[in-house]
């Protein structure tokens, strides 16, 4: 394929697809396709719903966005970047991937290359997506079109590790496909490419990246639970241990988002189909999923220590998104924390500057406030995310809006514990 004739199509314009589409549009004629009509209208107005790009950046990108699937026919290099969630039983839900493959198959031009970026279990691209492409297009892979896999490594909100600065794994169904995929991605990636020997290897590499992170955080979460029982501050222990050169530091936290709490189930699903029942991977998931209950317990312990009635207490949660400084609430563990608190008839409020009041109400079932709007009737503050917008928040300012014997559950060690106690706060942390 001659790159001067390349026309790129990106299917799925979310946190992964839009940065790809923008980057490709600087080099090639690029079409971005998404089924969400509201999103397309916003993008056509130069508005990024995910706040990753400014209006100027979108307008200068020359990207054409559409919800008309017929325009996909114009592309001869198609990238698929759609979500791969799990269902209520934590089983892989490949519906978005299957529907996208059907859409592409209906509009696939001969000699095109289709590259999947969505995180899946090893084998999914060739076992699930490829048959759909062949069936709906009436064409044969390797003869009429080719496929590849290049796992996404986008980190939402990270201005340092951007798309261009992250090493890109690429793979193809044969050497010819791999050569083209390498050349196309190489035109936008500055950090270099890694050529995986097969599509399955590339799929597996991606999924274990997130499994490893999930397990590392689970270890530190479990240690925090143990040290809490011992009456030892976990941060002090981790600070001391980190003085050894080969100690790898992680931080206790909620594990949310579109990848880390989801991807382990893709690997365990495939393993179980093959007759192997994973233990360590699922143990890590159980620990991380239990953390909202632990934080709820810390809040209740503090409220009880303040000699207040739980049902009359007002708790505000600072930071509702799945991590700091993003407007992404997918799989946020704060949803479960709120449910846990409400089980005790506690009045729960939210403070999330990165989300609209409507989104907070719909997603979390609470009202969204600024700290200055609360006035003097808060009993407990739970700080989940240390957003940059909270950096000027002081203990004195916080205390102005709180009742007698104020309680803080500080998940990020944002406040100084000694100072908090001296100022009369009942303080706890992970």
Which positions are annotated as active-site residues? 259
* CA gap 233, 413 in Å, rounded: 11
* CA gap 190, 323 in Å, rounded: 27
Q: DSSP for 284-320, please give it.
A: HHHHHHHHHHHHHHHHHHHHHHTT--GGG-EEEEE--
* CA gap 175, 177 in Å, rounded: 5
- CB burial of 138-171 (b: ≥16 within 10 Å; e: otherwise) equals ebebeebbbbbbbbbbbbbbeeeeebeebebbbb
* CA gap 259, 327 in Å, rounded: 15
Give the three-class secondary structure for 369.
coil
51 close to 327: Cβ distance less than 8 angstroms: yes
Residue 382: beta bridge partners?
A: 317, 409
What would the two tokens of residue 325 be?
């400084």
270 close to 207: Cβ distance less than 8 angstroms: no
Where helices occur in 107-233 by DSSP H, the ranges are 124, 130-137, 175-186, 199-230
Looking from the CA of 234 toward its CB, the CA atoms found within 13 Å total 23
- Closest listed residue to residue 200, CA positions, set 129, 132, 265, 143: 129
- Closest listed residue to residue 131, CA positions, set 94, 173, 101: 101
Treating both helix axes as pointing N-terminal to C-terminal, what angle do 130-137 and 95-106 enclose, rounded to 10 degrees? Answer: 30
Give the three-class secondary structure for 121.
coil
Give the three-class secondary structure for 170.
strand
CA distances from 254 to 69, 116, 196, 280, 383 (A): 38, 29, 32, 19, 12
* Class of residue 97 by CB neighbours under 10 A (exposed 0-12, middle 13-18, buried 19+): buried
């Amino acid at each position: 394929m001659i790159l001067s004739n390349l026309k790129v199509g990106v299917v799925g314009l979310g946190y992964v697809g839009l940065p790809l589409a923008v980057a490709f549009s600087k080099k090639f004629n690029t079409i971005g396709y998404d089924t969400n009509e509201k999103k397309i209208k916003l993008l056509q107005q130069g508005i990024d719903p995910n706040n990753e790009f400014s209006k100027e950046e979108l307008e200068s990108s020359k990207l054409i966005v559409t919800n008309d699937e017929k325009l996909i026919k114009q592309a001869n290099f198609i990238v698929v970047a759609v979500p791969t969630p799990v269902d209520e039983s934590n089983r892989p839900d490949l519906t978005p991937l299957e529907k996208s493959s059907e859409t592409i198959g209906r509009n696939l031009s001969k000699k095109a290359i289709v590259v999947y970026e969505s995180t899946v279990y090893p084998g999914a691209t060739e076992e699930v997506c490829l048959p759909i492409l062949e069936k709906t297009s009436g064409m044969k892979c390797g003869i009429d079109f080719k496929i590849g896999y290049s796992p996404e490594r986008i980190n939402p909100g990270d201005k340092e590790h951007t798309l261009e600065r992250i090493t890109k794994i690429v793979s193809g169904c044969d050497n010819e496909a791999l050569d083209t995929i390498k050349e196309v991605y190489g035109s936008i990636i500055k950090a270099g490419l890694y050529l995986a020997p097969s599509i399955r290897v590339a799929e597996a590499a991606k999924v274990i990246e997130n499994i490893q992170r999930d397990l590392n955080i689970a270890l530190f979460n479990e240690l925090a639970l143990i040290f809490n029982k011992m009456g030892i501050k976990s941060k002090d222990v981790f600070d001391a241990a980190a003085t050894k050169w080969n100690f790898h530091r992680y931080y206790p936290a909620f594990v949310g988002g579109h990848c880390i709490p989801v991807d382990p189930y893709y690997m365990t699903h495939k393993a179980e189909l093959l007759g192997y029942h994973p233990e360590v991977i699922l143990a890590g998931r159980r620990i991380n999923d239990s953390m909202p209950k632990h934080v709820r317990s810390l809040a209740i312990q503090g409220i009880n220590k303040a000699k207040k009635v739980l049902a009359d207490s007002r708790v505000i949660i600072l930071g509702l998104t799945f991590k700091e400084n993003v407007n992404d609430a997918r799989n946020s563990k704060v949803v479960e924390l709120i449910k846990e608190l409400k089980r005790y008839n506690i009045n729960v409020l939210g403070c999330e500057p990165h989300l609209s009041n409507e989104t907070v109400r719909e997603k979390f079932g609470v009202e969204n406030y600024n700290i200055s709007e609360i006035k003097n009737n808060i009993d407990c503050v739970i700080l989940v995310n240390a957003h940059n917008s909270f950096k000027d928040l002081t203990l004195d300012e916080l205390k102005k809006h709180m009742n007698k014997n104020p309680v803080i559950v500080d998940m990020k060690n944002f406040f100084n514990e000694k100072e908090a106690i001296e100022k009369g706060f009942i303080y706890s942390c992970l």
